[in-house]
Homo-oligomer: A and B are copies of this chain.
């Protein structure tokens, strides 16, 4: 239930249309929350019906821009939300699952996939760092800027984490084989090791 509040926050500053909001979700807010335009339009309709926002061009027009303005009820809802408890969002990633599976199933072709993802995360890390260099070049920021800077730094750390992780994963996947295939060539893999072959099964005891 975070999307409506993300939208309300964006409307505090000034009225915006769905496409403007969608564009902002690809930039700043997108560091830690993503939303497609379909989600945004649907949520805007809900918020309007709930009396949190109002459409400025009053008649519903398809194809023409339609800005929404924050109403007092929306501001109230936003403030109430700020003090509610949050639940930690668990780490959830398919590539991690595959690395786990590869320990029991075999690592055929996985190095290639890991390498692809590594490149993607490196690119994103570089992008975020360029944002940081451009938008926060000087020392300590004001309180407001510091909070937004912190959010960007979270994105940077997250990507850096992935880069380091995947580099280690590559090292493991390529370790038993000699050199020469660390960037582009897919690592040759042992074809189907027997299922019970893994000597260590820490997962069986990985809880108190």
Contact = CB atoms under 8 A, between A and B. Distances in A.
B33 A142 contact: no
A143 interface: yes
A89 to B, nearest CB: 5
Nearest to A141: B200
Contact of A147 (B99, B124, B151): B99
Interface of A: 2, 5-6, 9, 12-14, 24, 26-34, 78-79, 81-110, 112-113, 116-117, 120-121, 124, 127, 130-131, 134-136, 141-155, 157-158, 161-162, 164-165, 168-169, 172-173, 175-176, 192-193, 195-203, 205-208
14 contacts: A2-B94, A13-B195, A33-B93, A33-B97, A83-B110, A86-B117, A88-B117, A88-B162, A100-B151, A131-B206, A144-B200, A145-B198, A145-B202, A154-B161
Contacts of A86: 94-95, 98, 113, 117
Contacts of A95: 86
Given A85-B116, A108-B82, A13 B196 contact: yes
A204 to B, nearest CB: 8
Contacts of A91: 31-32, 154-155, 158
Contacts of A205: 134-135
A97 B145 contact: no
B13 A193 contact: yes
Nearest to A202: B135
A150 B135 contact: no
Given A32-B100, A144-B198, A152-B202, A26 B207 contact: yes
